[in-house]
Structures are given as structure tokens and as C-alpha cells.
Amino acid sequence: MKHNTNRSMKRALGTALAACCMAVTAIDPAALLTAEAAYSTGTYTVSGQSANIRQTPGEEVVGYASGGASFNVTAIDGSWGYSSSIPATSGKNLTGWVYLGNCTMAGTAPAPAAASYSVGSKVEVTNTDKVNFRTGAGTNHLLIGTIPQGTVLEVSEVSGGWIRVAYNGQNGWISTDYCKNYSGTVSDTTGSNKVAAVGDKVEITNTDAVNFRSGAGTGYSKLGTIPRGTVLKVEEVSGSWFRVTYNGKNGWFSSGYCKKYVENIVENPTTNKVASVGDKVEIANADAVNFRTGAGTSYAKLGTIPRGTVVTVEEISGNWFRVNYNGKDGWFSSGYCKKYVESNVEPSTPSTPADGTKIKVTAAVAVYLRTGAGASYNLIGSVPGGAILTVIESKDGWYRVNYDGKTGWITSRYTEKYTETTPSTPSTPSTPVTPSQPTAIAAGDTVKITAAVAVNLRTGASTSFQSIGTIPRDAVVTVKEVSGGWCRTEYKGKSGWFVSQYCVKQTQNTPVVPDVPAVDEPEQEVSTSYKAGDSVKTICKVYLRSGTSKDFEAIDVIAKAAVLKVEEVSGEWIRVSWNGKTGWMCSLYCVKNTVDQSETVTVSGKLTVNAAVSVNLRKEPNTSCAVIGYIKGGTVLEYTDKSNGWYKVIYNGKTGWISGTYAKLI
């Protein structure tokens, strides 16, 4: 107490000496203290939300006086009052100094500055392009810098026409002549928020990006921005501000730009329903899945894993899998994958061809081309069935080949050694027989799609280009341009490329039947007079469409001799259900079914599995039943029964059903 009084006396004496350079007169120190003081001892009340309690005037803060709290001031030092019992926000009574500009004395009106601005309130810089930011409350103090117009700051202290604020990590003073009370909406003026608590996850919303700052207020410097959709964990809360870690940095953002994040929790948070550690999974349900540094959306992205990639699960955390991809360890959500099941058929092991040997792809549709010799490597394209390739290298049942300008690996399971047929030379000189070659396709030709179901239409002449749609089997299109093994055409208003492997040139002798893939002559007079409830039988394969014309999308192919029930009639179109799908077919390609449905009709014959890799063997003839096995594409089987487009077969000692969509009758 004596030390503080002596310091105040020294300041007063210095002021008096500076003002009187001529004569030296005896000065009463007590009189100087009284003259300097704008306040007197007595009872004061905190007029703002709170006031700083300092160890000495203007020095270290030891606590905060509660708004509305009253205390007895027993000593004055300038604008500071000393009390031995100040009610603090902590619930205790503290000893220290309080700036009396934030208080009112009992029986007096509040100080003018405190009436306009109070500690904890926010102000906005106005009336100037920038305001000077000083070390003390007056123009005689050093200039720290300037604060631009529009900046919103929080008042930490008031002294006459000056307020103390924090800006860019520094504390200083600005004149109240160049600011106004900020009327912006604050999420919660009580010093808390209504969004989340420490430990909760929040998601950035309501803006494309939110400012990420070094402290809890707009007066702090920007570390950067956090984009919409980012999920973060709240580490600390200060008023309406959250402290989080983003991109390796700790900082703050306003809670007004986020919402509480609720993850989709699996039934058992510690497990998942997809796979276990050691299982292989295949990316599905998305063109690509995010690959992250940790098990959650708040972790940084390492990249993406494309659809069809097969990886091995190394660790599980909730509904996240840790895998190794492209030499990196990371995590992705199990919601974007399915368990990868290798075909349980033991294929015959082909003799390993020497480098330079030619092989033929035997897959029904295509085989994947990968970056390495294994199913876990990245996909870089596909090689269509029937393609002839030269082996560059052999390794563990995989062949390295070059196709369509790309060098990669394919599994040997879907290949066979290719032997070129040399025509025999007759004994008499004559022209040797030339093996038949497919008709070359050129720009302007009309072609018919021959793919099992449909062929991809892509933005460029390679499998690496994006698919923009499909062209269904038996669609007839005109070739606009040819590049290598690709044709450019226009289909349904889209211009794109498809593999010429899946089309044949239309000749004048080739009848064009756009909606029927391989029409047979009807066995009886075709009737177009149907009503709901009739039983009909298809006379050929026919499209199941989403509407009552050929302009509607083909959603499936109904097998020949399928027995269907008419659900609705619209002109020449009838609505039926097939393979779990309901749609429309042209009634010109079916006949009334005259077989008594009360009798059991047993059909039999042979079929080839028409699938790229394998087809599911199911317990009953529908997709909702359990899968009891897998049958490799190209396998020839005998079927013993047929029901709604499904065929009953026996395979590896198991009796089940396969979809007619993946069966080709022999």
C-alpha cells in the first residue's frame, strides 16, 4: 500500500515539476494526490458484466469482479480503487485494484464512458478507414498500429473516451470517437453456446468457409479458413467461440457457423457388419471413397480409392477400416465397401506361357487390368473378352500385358493360350483359304450392340474416360468416328465412345428389331388382346422398360419362354414383374400361356453362365434369398426347372437358382 502511494506521489511531483520550471515552492504531496484523483473512497458497484481485478493498477489480472457487485474502496490511485474484499465471478472475495471507470459510486450517476461501453461488450470500428491502436488511453501514448474499419472487437477495459481491446494478439487502446456498439447477433451472451460442449463433434455450416483465428474473437489474426462440411472436435469453449485443431493448427472459430455433428452409428460401435480383420473388401456404392489419416471424417484426406479396388482390412475402429493402398496406410468408411469373395471354383491352372507368348481373354465380358500382380492393386482399365494379347511377364498366376496403350496385369484365370490358325496349303497351286475376319467398321456405318446387357458410353476412346451412360443390347446406332477399337456415336442426345468389340455392322440383309434381342418365329398366332390377370409367355428375349414405349429406359431383359402375369394393359404394352422388377414390355413378343398353371411344368436343358466373373447361386428364385454359392462365368450347366426368369441348377453338390439375366441357353 505504501509502495503504490509513493509511486503515485512521484508521478504527481513529476507533473508539478514539469509545469513549474521557474520557481521551486514547497509542495504538499497529500494535496497533489487529492488534486489528481477523479474518484474518492467509498462504496462502488460494477456497472458492466464484469470488471478486471488487478494485482496493481494496470498490471496483472488476478480475477474478475461480478457485474452488479458492490465493494468498499479504501484507497485511490488515479482512476483505480483498492479494496480488500471484492466479490469475484469465482465466488470468492478477492483483494486488488479495479478501474473505477467501469463502476458507479453509491449515490452518483455512472461515469459517462461506462454508460456507453462496458467490459465484455463488442464494438465495431467506424467513422474512419482505420483507427490508431495505442499502448495507452490517450494520443500521447505510442502507436502500435491501426485497426481497419468494420473490425469487431471486445472491450476489456474503459478509460474515459478510450477503450482497451485485443487485436492481432496484442492489447491496446482506441478512441471511442471511432467506434460504435456492435449490434451483430451473438449465439449466447451469457458466455456459453447452444451448439455443443467440449468433446462434441461439430460440422461447419451456414457458410462456404468460416474464419479460423488465433484467439476467441474477431480481433485475433486469421490462421486461415475452414470449409463447409468439415467435421471437428471441440477442445475448448469461450463464449460463442470454439477451439479446435484443423490441419495441424490450434485455433478458434465462431459457433454461429456450425451445427452439432451426429455420426451414423452402427448397432455395435466396436464392430461392423461388412468384414473382419484379414478379410478382403471391394469398394462399392460410390465412384470413389475418401482415404483418410484416421478413423473419422475430421481427419485429413490422403486421397481417394476408386470403385472396384480390392483391399485387405488391417484394423477396425467402429465403422471404419484401416487398409494399405498405393503404399499408404489409411482409413475409409465401411459403408462404401462390400466383402470380396473370391470364386470358390478352382479353375484349371494354365501352363505358364513364356514371355512373348500370345494369350486370349476368355472372360464373358471383360477382365480387369491392374497396376500390379494381385487383386489388391489399383484398377487402370479392363480388357474385353476375346482380346488377343502378348505376355510381357508372368508372376504368381498373373500376366503383365499391354492393352489400349496401357501396361498392367490381368489374372491368368480368364485366359488361354492363343494359337494362330494357319490355313492349310493345298497340293495344287491355288489361292489359300483366308480365315473369316470380322467386317471392319468405319464412320457412317450402322451397327448393332451385341453386349450381354449394355455397353458403356464414355467421354473418350478408353476405359479411363468417364461413363456418361449405357447403350442397351440390340440398340442400333450410327458410327460418327473410329479410333483404334472404339467407335463414337450419339445415343439419346449424348455423344460418346464405346468399344467396337460389342457391336456388329448392320447389312441390308440384317433385319433391325430394336426392342427384341434375337427374335424367334412365334410358335402360334400372336395375340395383342390381353387383360389384367392373363398369363403370357415370351416368344423371345425382350426388354423390360420403365414406360410404355421404346423411348423409355430398359431396366432388364426378360428371357425367352418366361411365364408372366399381366398386371396392367396400355395399348400394345403390358405391365409385368420380372426378376424382382416391375415394368412394361411390348405385347407383340408374347403369347397367351395355355398351360394349366395348377400343373407343375418341368423344363430342362443346358445353359452357359454369361457373367464377367461369377453369378450368385441362390436358395430360391429371387434376389431376396440367401446366396449359397458362386458359379464362374463361362461354366456350362444343366438346368432342371425354370421359374419367372430363374433357372434351377446343381453346382458343386449344391442345388439352387441363377438369374436368367446371366444365363445363355444352349
Structure confidence by residue, pLDDT tens digits, 442-485: 888 888 888 766 788 888 888 778 888 888 877 888 899 888 78
Single-letter code of the amino acid located at 510: T
- Helix 2-19 to helix 29-36 angle (10° resolution) is 90
pLDDT score at 281: 86
The conformational region for residue 102 under phi > 0 = left, psi -120 to 50 = alpha, else beta, is alpha
User: Is the confidence at residue 95, as pLDDT, over 50?
Assistant: yes
What CATH number is given for 122-181 in this structure?
2.30.30.40
Instruction: Please name the residues in contact with 162: beta carbons below 8 A apart, sequence gap of 6 or more.
Output: 113, 137, 138, 173, 174, 175, 176
Give just the sign of the alpha carbon dihedral 147, 152, 155, 160. Answer: positive
Q: Which CATH class is domain 605-665?
A: mainly beta
pLDDT tens digit string along 588-644?
888 887 654 333 344 678 888 887 778 889 888 887 788 888 888 888 888 888 887
Query: What pLDDT is recorded for position 83?
Result: 92
- List Cα–Cα distances, 160 to 72, 102, 255, 264, in angstroms: 22, 10, 33, 55
Distance CA 661, CA 666 (A): 14
What distance in Å separates the CA atoms of residue 129 and residue 666, rounded to the nearest whole number? 86
- pLDDT computed for residue 168 by the predictor: 80
| Fold of the CATH domain 358-417 | SH3 type barrels. (2.30.30)
Question: Is there a contact between 283 and 269 (Cβ–Cβ < 8 Å)?
Answer: no
Mean confidence (pLDDT) of the chain: 75
E strand intervals along 176-230: 179-181, 201-204, 209-213, 222-227
Where does 149-220 show beta strands of DSSP type E? 152-154, 157-159, 162-167, 170-175, 179-181, 201-204, 209-213
Contact 472, 518 (CB under 8 A): no
Give the DSSP letter string of 15-50: HHHHH--S------HHHHHHHH-SS-SEEEEE-SSE
Higher-pLDDT residue of 61 and 366 is: 61
Q: Is the pLDDT of residue 385 over 70?
A: yes
Under 8 Å between Cβ of 368 and 376:
no
Look up residue 652 and give its three cell numbers: 458343386
Separation of alpha carbons 627 and 623, rounded Å? 9
Flag the least confident range among 102-106, 131-135, 288-292, 391-395.
102-106
Bridge partners for 398 per DSSP: 395, 411
Fold of the domain spanning 280-339: SH3 type barrels. (2.30.30)
As to burial, measured by CB atoms within 10 angstroms (0-12 exposed, 13-18 middle, 19+ buried), residue 493 is: exposed
Q: Whole-angstrom Cα distance, residue 221 to residue 169? A: 7
Distances (CA, A) of 33 to 12, 14, 43, 446, 617: 7, 12, 20, 107, 100
Tens of pLDDT, residues 9-41: 444 444 444 344 333 333 343 333 333 335 788
Read out DSSP for 539-575? SS-EEEESSSSTTSPEEEEEPTT-EEE--EEETTEEE
Where along the chain do the CATH 2.30.30.40 domains lie? 2-110, 122-181, 201-260, 280-339, 358-417, 446-505, 605-665
Most confidently modeled of 315-329, 343-357, 510-524, 588-602?
Answer: 315-329
Name the burial class of residue 459, with classes exposed (0-12), middle (13-18) and buried (19+) by CB atoms within 10 angstroms of its CB.
Answer: middle
Burial class (CB in 10 A: 0-12, 13-18, 19+), 99: buried
Measured in degrees and rounded to the nearest 5, phi and psi for residue 256 equal -70, -10
The DSSP bridge partners found for residue 145 are 133
SS3 251: strand
Helix (H, G, I), strand (E, B) or coil at 389: strand
Q: Which amino acid is at 571?
A: G
Q: State mean pLDDT over 60-75.
A: 85
Render the burial of 561-581: b for 16+ CB within 10 Å, e for the rest.
bbbbbbeebeeebbbbebbee
Most confident of 121-130, 411-420, 540-549, 629-638: 629-638
* 282 closest CA partner among 255, 256, 313: 313
Task: Say how far apart CA 459 and CA 33 lie, in whole Å.
Answer: 87
The owner of cell 431383359 is 557
How much of the chain is helix, strand and coil, in % rounded to 5?
10, 45, 45
pLDDT in tens, 119-178: 888 888 887 778 888 888 888 788 888 888 778 888 888 887 888 888 887 889 888 888
Instruction: Provide the percentage of residues in the chain whose pLDDT is more than 90.
Output: 3
The CATH number given to 446-505 is 2.30.30.40
User: Could you tell me the fold of the domain covering 201-260?
Assistant: SH3 type barrels. (2.30.30)
User: pLDDT class for 355, splitting at 50, 70, 90?
Assistant: low
Of the CA atoms within 13 Å of residue 317, those in its CB half-sphere come to 10
Length of the chain counted residue by residue: 666
Residue with the larger pLDDT of the pair 262 and 84:
84
Q: Domain 2-110 has what CATH class?
A: mainly beta
